[in-house]
Amino acid sequence: MVLVTHDPSLAARCDREIPVRSGRIAEPVQGAGIPETQAVRA
């Protein structure tokens, strides 16, 4: 799943963040992720 957002607090819940600045991919950031107790399994 890919999530595109401008909300840093929402992005922090993801496993990985790939910021885009000036149309270019910036340094990827490891996110905090969602605790497994809150994760939804498909």
What is the 3 state secondary structure string of 1-42?
A: CCCCCCCHHHHCCCCEECCEECCEECCCEECCCCCCCCCCCC
Which has the closest alpha carbon to 33: 9, 7, 13?
13
What does the pLDDT read at residue 42? Answer: 45
pLDDT digits (tens, 9 = 90+) for 9-35: 888 888 888 888 898 888 766 655 555
CA-based nearest residue to 34, from 16, 11, 6, 15: 15
Question: What is the predicted pLDDT for the residue at 8?
Answer: 86
Residue 20 · residue 26 · CB < 8 Å: yes
Q: 3 near 10, Cβ under 8 Å?
A: yes
pLDDT of the residue at 16: 80
How does residue 2 score in pLDDT terms, banded at 50, 70 and 90?
confident
Query: In this predicted structure, what is the pLDDT of residue 22?
Result: 92
